[in-house]
Structure 1
Amino acid sequence: MTDSFTLDPRLQRDCRVVAELPLSTVLLMNDTHYPWCILVPRRADIRELYQLSEADYGQLQLESRTLGRALMDAFQGDKLNVAALGNVVAQLHIHHIVRYTEDPAWPDPVWGKYPAKPYTDDEADKLVERIRQALQLTSQ
């Protein structure tokens, strides 16, 4: 049920909502270094993938694939990093990060490499719209 679902405060602070999929909320990480979205299943008190029901697990996999395809279509990256860490934010969330061989952290993981460089409101609005359009194209 989604009745008691609340988005973790850190995700609220660090991200902007892009879209609502059947199971998950798509967030844009506020960091201009990388096109970086986070998929958060709207289920209360879930920390790990194995805690999802079979139906929710299957839906999350579908949404992750859809988001990954949309991001790579929209941003033409060299690699897509997909990860569920949860070391800082325990709430289950899946990072989808478009990587380029010339990005600042390549080939290392992005975590802790550089402080986030926030988008301007205008930049974030344009990026959210670009991702929304890509999601519509790939979800048909």
Structure 2
Amino acid sequence: MLPGLKAGFALDARLEADSDQLMWLGLCELRVMNDRRWPWLILVPQRPDVEEIHDLTPLDQAMLTFETNMVAQALKRVTGCTKINTGALGNIVRQLHVHVVARNEGDPGWPGPVWGHGLREPYPRGKLHEFAERIKAAL
């Protein structure tokens, strides 16, 4: 079993296909969305069969809030963005996961949401690794 992986937990195949593992936090696996249009991180609580934040225990809810804030602050420091978008929609991928996206006026789709805007543009492999290392250092 990988470090931090909770018994019975399995990552949704769509999250695995669209993002790369960055690191383990206390509750969540932190992943990088492989879309170079926006610096975009995803927190996935390592709890089986959880779809909504209110499905978590109160302690896990507090931990998710703490980890989301920590990741958002690191992303803002690394990117210098003007706005952080945070969301847990789950309309397509039901497994609970929280998106943390760095936004700037004039970026693709501004001021609208990133979901459903155009086609994903994967990072060149070295650039994804470089971004991931900068986030790790900021955390």
Q: Secondary structure of the residue that 1:45 maps to in structure 2?
A: coil
Could you tell me which residue of structure 2 aligns to residue 91 of structure 1?
Answer: 95
Q: Secondary structure of the residue that 1:108 maps to in structure 2?
A: coil
Q: Secondary structure of the residue that 2:32 maps to in structure 1?
A: strand
Q: Say if 2:51 is the partner of 1:47.
A: yes
AA matched with 1:96: V
Query: After the TM superposition, which segments of 4 or more aligned residues of structure 1 sit over 6 Å from their partners?
Result: none
Q: Give TM-score, length-normalised by structure 2.
A: 0.95
Gapped regions of structure 2 (runs ≥ 5): none
Could you tell me which residue of structure 1 aligns to residue 7 of structure 2?
Answer: 3
Q: Secondary structure of the residue that 2:23 maps to in structure 1?
A: strand
Cα shift at 1:102: 1.6
> Structure 2 CA distance, aligned partners of 1:111 and 1:22?
27
Aligned length: 135
Gapped regions of structure 1 (runs ≥ 5): 136-140
1:44-123 maps to which residues of 2 (within 5 A)? 44-123=48-127
* Deviation by residue 1:39-60 (Cα, 9 ceiling, x = unmatched): 0000000000001001101000
Give percent identity, aligned residues only.
39
Q: Give TM-score, length-normalised by structure 1.
A: 0.94
